[in-house]
Amino acid sequence: MKSKVQLAIALSRLKSFAKPDVKLEQYPTDSEIAADVLWHAGMQGHIEGKRIADFGCGTGILGIGALLLGAKHVFFVEKDASAITTLAENLASLEIEEGFTIVPEDIANFDEEVDMVIQNPPFGTRDEHIDRFFLGKAFSVADIVYSFHKTSTKTFVESFAKDNGFDVKERLDFAFPLKQTQSFHTKKIQRIEVSCFYLMKT
């Protein structure tokens, strides 16, 4: 990938969730936002040649983006079988045949040490404190973490990171688009304030 624009275009062509599971808070990560965060991480030297885990990877947009930017190996960790099927289709569509492992399990069972975790975890609106669990697990396997959270929870993220020996190095803020994927959604697209926190072990 020679530019962030090229990366965003490639990611925009990937398939999203066939039937999003509301209980798992399966909302697709916008391709331009994904490209923005991945390009930023790449410029910091956190992707090329690195071992990366994409926690709760869904259909794989973040991990696939990392592979396109030269990651040595990506672990796609996802427990939902339908999402894994789409993930495999997305990898095949880009003719990516090596440099990755699909881990069809809950992130609790993942114990590989990696250079970086990148994740867009559930925000905890359906399963309270699930965001805390994802962060804690990420901190246990990597020294660098990029993690999406509602901007309104920034105080929690900063405090939890500090308690676990991590600093918030940067915060990238976005108007995150949530598309109308559930029957109770009243708008075609609703934008919410979401931040990607770049965290590093102290």
Mean pLDDT split into 10-residue runs, the chain, 202 residues: 94 86 73 97 98 97 98 97 96 97 97 97 73 96 97 96 98 85 59 95 97
Which residues face 193 on adjacent strands? 175
Q: What is the pLDDT of residue 2?
A: 86
pLDDT of residue 8: 97
Please tell me the predicted confidence (pLDDT) of residue 69.
Answer: 98
What distance in Å separates the CA atoms of residue 141 and residue 167, rounded to the nearest whole number?
16
- Closest listed residue to residue 137, CA positions, set 197, 87, 77: 77
Contact 35, 124 (CB under 8 A): no
Identify the pLDDT of residue 187.
61
Question: What pLDDT is stored for residue 109 in this prediction?
Answer: 97
DSSP string, 135-193: HHHHHHH-SEEEEEEEGGGHHHHHHHHHHTTEEEEEEEEEEEEEE--STT--SSEEEEE
8 A C-beta contact, residue 115 and residue 46: yes
Q: What pLDDT does 190 receive?
A: 81
> In 24-46, which positions are buried (b, 16+ CB within 10 angstroms) versus exposed (e)?
bbbbbbbbbbbbbbbbbbbeeeb
- Predicted local confidence at residue 26, as pLDDT: 64
Domains of the chain and CATH, by start: 4-201 (3.40.50.150)
* Residue type, position 185, single letter: H
Q: Model pTM?
A: 0.91
101 neighbors 92 (Cβ within 8 angstroms): no
